[in-house]
Structure 1
Amino acid sequence: MSSWKNLEEEVKQYAQYIWNRKAEPDRLAGINFDCVLTLSEIEKVIVEVTENRSLDKIRGDIARIQIIRTNMMAKNIMVRPYIVCDFQPTQGMKDAGKESYVEVLSFSDFRKIFFDFDTYKHVRSNATFGSAVDPITGENDEAVYTPVGYDILNSVEANAEEIAQRIIDGKKVILLGDYGTGKSRCFREVFNILARRVDETFLYPIAIDLKETWGLESSVEIIRRHFNHLGIGESETDSVVKAFNGKRICFLLDGFDELGSRPWSEDKKKLESIRRHALQGVKDLLSNAGAGFLVSGREHYFNSNKEMMTALGVREDQSVIARCKTEFSYEEFYKYLELNNINVSLPSWLPRKPLILKTIASLDNNKISELFNSSNGDEIEFWYNFIDAMCERDSRIHPILDPDTVKQVLSRLASLTRERAQNVGPITESEVVDVFFEVTGSYPNEQSTVMLQRLPGLGRVSSETGDRNFVDDFVLDGLRALDLVNRVSSSDRNVSNLKWLNPLRKLGVSILSREMQKRNLTSLFITYAKQSLQRDKSNKVSISDVLSALNQIEIDEIDFDGFDFIEAHFGDLNFERANLKNIKFSDGVFESITLGKVDPESIVIKDSFIDRLLGVSSSSGVPAWIKNCEVVSYESIDTLTAIKKSGLTDEQTMLVSILIKVYRQAGNGRLEHTLTKGLAAVNKKSLKKILQYLISNGFLVTSKDNGETIYKPVRKHQERIEKILNELDRSNDEVWEHVTMLSA
C-alpha cells in the first residue's frame, strides 16, 4: 500500500462489500477502532488495521478488543473481531489471535472473504477465451503471445499492457476487429495482465465470453450464468453481483456480435432494434459498471459508432475505441516466427496473419522450403501449391481420402460461407457431412469422420461446439474461386438461385481469371455472365465475380449492349486492363475499385456505395463516369508508407514525395535531404532531373540555409499540384507525363 490512509480506506470498502453495511471508524467504550460495522442490534464487526510488524503491537490490539468484547457482552451484543495486516502475519501472531478468538490475517486474505479471486483466476485461465483456440483441438491456444499494437483513434498504437492500464485508470475500452485479427487473444492477454496486478490495483477482472449469455437481459443474469458455466459456487457469484457497480470489479466482455443470429432485413431501424434488444443485458451491465472495462466485437456489426455506443450503454466521451490490425507489422511478424520457432524465410507478400502462419508451421520444414521454392515468388502460384500441400498432408494422415477429394470438400464448404454474415463461417458439423456426401456420393465412415473433424484451413469456433470457421480469407477466397469455376463449367443451374452475400476479393478474382485461361473457359464465362444478367432471379454476387475476372485477362473487349446491372456486389473490380464495355452499374456495392490510366469505354457506375477507390487520392480525382456514388476512402498518399504502397514507379514516387512535402506539409519550405527521406529507392540522377524540371518550370523556388538548399512552393500552382496528387497515375498533366517518361 502507498500509505496508511489508503490501506484503511481499502479495508473499509471491502468490509462493506463483505457484510453489506456501512463501515466507518468508531469509538466504543472509550476506545477508537479503525472500522466498525453494525450488523444488527446484537451484533457488531470490529476490524483493526495495522502495518506495524511487531508481535507486541498485535497483542496490544488483541487486548483492546478483549476489553470491548467484555463490555459489549454485558449489553448482550456479540462482537466479531478481525486484525488486518498490511503484510503476511507470522504464525505467532495468528496463534496469539486464535487464543482469544480474534482472526489475524493479511489484507490479501481479508479480501478473499469477499471474493476468492485466486480460485476464479485458475478456473477462468483454463477455460477458452472466445476464438483464441487451437484450430485442431478447440482448446486454449497455447502458442506464445506475440506483443502487437492496437490502433486507437486519434492516438498512437497501444499494446495489451497499455490497454490494461487504461482499464485500471477507469477507461471504457471498445476493441473492434474481424475474425482472426486477434480480439480474443488480446482479451486473454489483458485478463492475464490485470490478474497479475490484482494485489497492486485491487481491481478484479471478470472475463466473460458473451456467446454464453445469449438471451439474457440483465447484468445479474449474465454474471450468474458465467460463474455457473465455470462451476464456481453461489457465494462467489453473490460477491461479484454485490460489488459489480463498485470500483473493484472490471468486466472484460468478448464478442458483442455473438449474442444471437444476425437476421437480414431491408428495414434499418428494425435491424437496429434487433441488435439493441440482443445487447440489453450487456448494456445493463456496462452502464452500471463502476470501473473501467473492455468489450470487444466485430468491426462492422453496428451501422455506426453512435449506434454501438447507444446499444452498449457507453458514453462516447468516456470511451476509447481500439482496433485490431488486419495483420502483423514486419517487426511483429518476425517476432511471431521467433517466438513460435518457425525457422523459414517467408516472402513479403504472404499475409502476415497468425492463423495463416500457424497453418504453415504445421508442415515440416522440408515441405515449407519446397512450397516456397516451387512458387518462384508468384503469390497466385504459391496459393495453388499451399492448398495442394495442405490437402496432401491430410491425405497422408488419413489415406482413405485422396488430396483432390479433400480439396473438393473444402471448396464446397467455402461456397457455403458465401451466405454467412460473418464471411468465414461458421459451418456446422451436419453441413460438413452433407458436403462430404455431395462430393463422394456416400456418408463418412468412422475414419473419414475423424478426417472431417480436422480439415485443413478450418478452425474450431470453440471447445463447446463442433462448428468451424475458415482460418483466413487467404485460404477461403481462392477456394471460393475454384468452386465457382467448377459450378459454371459443370453447368450447375442451381448457382443462379443461391443467395450469396460475400464476393471474391483480389486473390479470388486473380485465381478465377487464371482458371478461366488455364482451362480455356473464357467463352463459357462470357456466355454465363450475359445469360445470367438477363435472368429475373440470379446470383448477383457470382455475376460480379465473373465480370471482375473477365475484366483483367488478355481478351478482346466484351460488349454488354448497354445493359444496366442493378445491385451488383463486387469485392474487387480492377480497370487497369478494362475489358468490359458498354455496361452500366446502378445501386451496387463495390468493396474495392482500382482505376486504370485510361477510362474504360462506355462504362457508368452510378448511385452506388464504394468502400475503397484506388488510383485517385480524393473526391476531386473521381472520373466523370463514376456518378453520384458514396465513396468511403481513396488511395492514401499522405504518409511515407502509403506512398510506397501506391504502385507508382520510383520516379513518380519521388515526385509525389517532393510535392506532398513542399506543398502540403506545414512550413515555408523543405530542406533537400528531407524531400525523399525514407524512400527505399532514390536514384540521385533522376532526383536531380525532377528537381531541375520543377524549378525551371516555376513550380519550386530555392534559397540557402547553412549551405543546404531549401525548396519552397509557388502557391499560384497549388490547385494544379493538388489535381496531380489527386489523380496520380491517371493524370495527363505535363509535369506527371514528363516524370513518367524518366521511368521509361
Structure 2
Amino acid sequence: MKKSWATFEDKVRDIANLIWGRYPTPENVGGVAIDAVLHLDPQLSVLIEITEERQLGKVREDVTKLVTAQNALYAKRVIARSYCVIDAETVTESMKEAGRAANIKVLTIFEFSKLFFDFSSYKVGRLNAPFGSAINPITGEKDDTEYVPVRYRVDGSGADIGTAEIAELLKKGQHIILLGEYGSGKSRCIREAFRYMADRADADFNHPISIDLREMWGLKRGVELLNRHLADLGLDKLSGSAVRAFNAGSVTLLLDGFDELGSQAWNNDPARLRAIRAQALQGVKDIIQRSQSGVLIAGREHYFPSNDEMFQALGVRQSACTIIRSKKEFTDEELQEFFDQRGIDVEIPSWLPRRPLICQTINELPEEDREKMFDVSASETAFWDHFMRVLCVRDARINVAFDPDAIYGVLKRLGRITRTKPSNVGPITLSDLQRAFEDIVGQAPGEEASVMLQRLPSLGRLGTETDDRQFTDTYILDGLRAKDVGEIALTSLELLKDVLSTSWTNGLDSLGQMILASDARCSDKKLIDLAHQAAVSNNKTLASDAIATLLSRKADPLDFGKLNLSAGHFIFIDFSRRDIMNLTLTECTFANIIFDNRPTKNVMISSSLAEKVTGATSVKGLPPWVSLTADKYESADNTASIRRIGLKPAQQMLATTIRKTFFQKGAGRKEEALTRGFARLGAPGLATKVINMLIAEGLVEKVKGQEGALYIPVRKHTGRMKQLLAELTTSNDPLWLAVSDLK
C-alpha cells in the first residue's frame, strides 16, 4: 500500500525500521544529537543523519557529527554503521568522498531504500523478460510493440478504466481481478500497470512484483511463488529482501494466469472440479491472503463457473474486490490507432474482426495480401475462409515444395488434436506437429517440412523456454475445428472409429458453428446422422457440436429423430433460431445457452448445468421444457449479448438504442455514437425508423448539441425500458411489437 509521511525524517526512520526490524529514535551520542539511532546488539549500533539540504557543507557537518558519535561508541567497544541520507535524486562524488574516509555512507533516499529491497535490479530483470502471453508469436520473445491504450470494463458500475487508474487503485491496497478471453490483452494490461508503478516505486515506497503463474505449478505457499519467480529471472540473491518487503506490506502483486495452474480436463462432477481448481491454486490463495497491499490477478473469464467459487479459490473477499474485464475487441478508435502506429493505411471494413491477435496477424502480412483481403466484402464466414487461405498461400511461397492445401490440412488436424488438450489453445508438442503432418501428407516430415511445421501460420510459441506451440487466437482455431467437423461428417462410419472413440473436451464456439452451418456439403441429415453416432460413442462433444450447429441454421423446422444425448458439453447453443422436435439433452453442460419463446415439440433439457443463460433473467423465465442450474442469467446488458440473442435487425437496433440511452453512463448520446454499427445490421433508413418510433412514443428526445443531434432519454420511462430489455423476445410491449414488424 502506498505510504505517506509527515516529514522526510519519518520516511527515513520508517525505511530503517523495515531494514533492521526495529524503529530508530533520535539520541544524544557522545555529546551530539543524532537523528536516528538503532542499537542492534550490545556491540553493534546504526547511526543515521537525515537532511533535506543538498549542499556539500551540510553533508560535511553531518559527517563530522557521525564521526564524533562513532568515536564515542568505539570507546565503549561498540561498532557503529553510519549513514548520511539526503533528500535528493543524486549525490555528488564530493559528498560521497566526505564520508568515505570515516566509512560513512552518503546516500540518496532511493539508495538507502535499496538496503531494504533492491527494486531497481528487479525492475530491469522483469522488464527484460516476457509478461505472460505478451510475446511475439513467431519468436517467443517478449513483445516490444508499442502499446495501444485500451479501457477495461468495471463490473457493477458501467464505467471503463485504464492501466494508470488500475495502478492507482492497487497503490491504495485494492484487490482487482482481471477477466478476459485468450488474446484479449490481460498480460499487456499487467505489463503496463507494472511499468506505471515501477516508475514511481521509489517515491511511493510501493514495489510491484509481476509473476507469471504458468511457471508456478505445484507450489503451495506464497513464499515459494516469490522465490521461484526471482530464480527464473536469475535474481535469487533478492529472495530474502523480496520476502521481507512482501511481509512489510510494500509489495503490490501482479499475478498473471490463474487459469494456467490447473487441468481443464472435463469432469461431470462439479464438486470434483471445484476441488481440483482449489488445490491447483493453493499457493496463489496463500500469497493473496498474506498480502498487505494491492493485488491484481488475471485469468480466463470462464475458468470458474461462478464468482463465489472464484473468490473462494483465490482467497479474495468479494466486498473488498473489484472485477474488471478485458474487452474482446478493439474499439474502432483503438483499431485505427493500432494500424496507424504500424503504418498500415486501410479503410477498416465492418466485417474485420477487432480481436487484437487477429489484427497483429494481419499486420504481419505483406501489403498486397492485406489489400486483397480488405477487398472482400462478404460475410464473416467468407472473410474467415479468405483470411485462412491468404495465410496458407503466403507460407507456401517460402518454398515451392510447400503446398497451401497441405498447410491448411495440417492446421485443421492440429485443431482436432487440441480438442483433447487441457487448455483450449494447446499446448501442441513437436510430436503433435509430426503426427498431424503424417496424417495429412502420408509420410514423416523431412528437413524442409520440419521447418514449415515450426512456423505454421496462426501458431505461436508458449515462450522461449519450450518448443511447444499453441494457437494464437481462438477465432482461427474455432474455424479450423469447424472445417474438420465438416470433413468428419462426410466420412464413412468405418473411418470414423478413431474420432468416435476419442473423448474431446474442447467444443465449437459460435463462430465455428456458423462456419460449419454454412458448409453446403453438410446437410441437416448428415449432421443429424453424425450426432446420433457420436451420442452413443465416447465423443459426446462431437455430438454436441453437430446439435448446436443444426440449431444455428435459420431453416425449416428440424426433427432430430428422437436423439438422446447424455453428458454432452456445449460451448454455445442457441434455441432461438429454429423450430425443433424430438431432442433430449440430459446431464449436459452449457457455457452459454440462449432461449426465447419459440415453440418446440418433444424437446427436453434435464439435470443439466449452465454457466450463463441468455434470454431469461431468472430460473422462472426458463421455458417449461428446461430443467437446469445456471450460474448467471443475462438478458441484454451489453451490445454483445444483444447480438448473440439472434434478434431481427430492427429489434437489435431498438434494444441497443435503449441500452445506450437509458442504461449507459451519461446524459445523452450523439447520433454517430448511437447508430454506430447499425449500417451493417439492416437496410438503409431502418435505424431512422426505429429512433423515430422512440421519439414518437415520447421515450427519447432529440435536441441540438454543439456537434450535431443529441438523443436524451425521458427518465420517467426507465422502468418500462428495463422491463422491455429483460423480456425481449417474450415482450408484449406495444413498442416492441411495432418495431418487430419493421423491415
Match of residue 511 from structure 2: 507
Local SS of the residue matching 1:308 = helix
Distance 1:83 1:397, change over 3 A: same
1:566 aligns with 2:578: no
**Cα deviation digits, residues 367-417 of structure 1 (max 9, x gap):** 1111232x3232111111111101111111243320111111110111122
Distance 1:7 1:574, change over 3 A: same
CA distance in structure 2 between the partners assigned to 1:359 and 1:658 by the alignment? 33
Q: Residue 313 of structure 2 is aligned with which of 311, 314, 332?
A: 311
- AA in 1 matched with 2:315: G
Distance 1:737 1:58, change over 3 A: closer
Number of aligned residue pairs: 718
- AA in 2 matched with 1:223: L
- AA in 1 matched with 2:313: A
Correspondences of 1:202-217 after superposition (within 5 Å): 202-217=205-220
Q: Is the 8 A contact 1:48 1:83 kept in 2?
A: yes
- AA in 1 matched with 2:472: V
Q: Is the 8 A contact 2:38 2:47 kept in 1?
A: yes
Distance 1:164 1:420, change over 3 A: same
Match of residue 190 from structure 1: 193
Match of residue 300 from structure 2: 298
Local SS of the residue matching 2:468 = strand
Distance 1:631 1:225, change over 3 A: closer
Distance 1:665 1:41, change over 3 A: closer
1:587 aligns with 2:590: no
Match of residue 603 from structure 1: 603
Q: What TM-score do the two structures reach when normalised by structure 1?
A: 0.86
Q: What is the deviation of 1:675?
A: 13
Q: What is the deviation of 1:74?
A: 1.6
Q: What is the deviation of 1:631?
A: 7.5
Match of residue 221 from structure 1: 224
Percent identity between the two aligned chains: 38
CA distance in structure 2 between the partners assigned to 1:701 and 1:93 by the alignment? 71
Q: Is the 8 A contact 2:660 2:674 kept in 1?
A: no
Distance 1:179 1:109, change over 3 A: same
Higher deviation after alignment, 42-51 or 31-40: 31-40
Correspondences of 1:127-206 after superposition (within 5 Å): 127-155=129-157, 156-206=159-209
Distance 1:364 1:723, change over 3 A: same
Q: Is the 8 A contact 1:347 1:377 kept in 2?
A: no
Q: Is the 8 A contact 2:597 2:623 kept in 1?
A: no
Distance 1:168 1:380, change over 3 A: same
Match of residue 498 from structure 2: 494
Q: Residue 245 of structure 1 is aligned with which of 244, 247, 255?
A: 247
CA distance in structure 1 between the partners assigned to 2:389 and 2:291 by the alignment? 51
Q: What is the deviation of 1:85?
A: 0.4
Match of residue 274 from structure 1: 276
Q: Is the 8 A contact 2:581 2:603 kept in 1?
A: yes
Distance 1:598 1:733, change over 3 A: farther
Match of residue 706 from structure 2: none
Q: Is the 8 A contact 1:672 1:711 kept in 2?
A: no
- AA in 2 matched with 1:528: L
Q: Is the 8 A contact 1:144 1:340 kept in 2?
A: no
Q: What is the deviation of 1:309?
A: 2.9
Q: What is the deviation of 1:122?
A: 1.4
CA distance in structure 2 between the partners assigned to 1:266 and 1:133 by the alignment? 35
CA distance in structure 1 between the partners assigned to 2:479 and 2:457 by the alignment? 14
**Cα deviation digits, residues 91-139 of structure 1 (max 9, x gap):** 3222222233322221122222333322221121111111110000000
Correspondences of 1:548-697 after superposition (within 5 Å): 548-553=548-553, 557-575=557-575, 578=578, 580-594=580-594, 598-611=598-611, 622-627=622-627, 630=630, 632-636=632-636, 652=651, 678-679=674-675
Q: What is the deviation of 1:360?
A: 1.0
Q: What TM-score do the two structures reach when normalised by structure 2?
A: 0.86
Match of residue 527 from structure 1: 529
Match of residue 80 from structure 2: 79
Match of residue 681 from structure 2: none
Match of residue 705 from structure 1: none
Runs (5+) with no aligned partner, structure 1: 703-707
Local SS of the residue matching 2:467 = strand
Higher deviation after alignment, 264-273 or 211-220: 264-273
Q: Is the 8 A contact 1:618 1:635 kept in 2?
A: no
Q: Is the 8 A contact 1:657 1:676 kept in 2?
A: no
Q: What is the deviation of 1:731?
A: 5.4
CA distance in structure 2 between the partners assigned to 1:676 and 1:393 by the alignment? 38
Distance 1:20 1:271, change over 3 A: same
- AA in 1 matched with 2:150: V
- AA in 1 matched with 2:509: R
CA distance in structure 2 between the partners assigned to 1:672 and 1:230 by the alignment? 50
Distance 1:265 1:115, change over 3 A: same
Correspondences of 1:269-418 after superposition (within 5 Å): 269-373=271-375, 375-418=376-419
Higher deviation after alignment, 523-532 or 208-217: 523-532
Correspondences of 1:83-94 after superposition (within 5 Å): 83-87=84-88, 88-94=90-96
Q: What is the deviation of 1:335?
A: 2.2
- AA in 1 matched with 2:515: I
Match of residue 481 from structure 2: 480
Q: What is the deviation of 1:645?
A: 8.2
Match of residue 8 from structure 1: 9
CA distance in structure 2 between the partners assigned to 1:485 and 1:498 by the alignment? 17
1:230 aligns with 2:233: yes
CA distance in structure 1 between the partners assigned to 2:441 and 2:269 by the alignment? 42
Runs (5+) with no aligned partner, structure 2: 677-684, 702-710
CA distance in structure 2 between the partners assigned to 1:98 and 1:673 by the alignment? 67
Q: Is the 8 A contact 1:176 1:297 kept in 2?
A: yes
CA distance in structure 2 between the partners assigned to 1:43 and 1:714 by the alignment? 76
Q: Is the 8 A contact 1:477 1:507 kept in 2?
A: yes
CA distance in structure 1 between the partners assigned to 2:40 and 2:712 by the alignment? 82
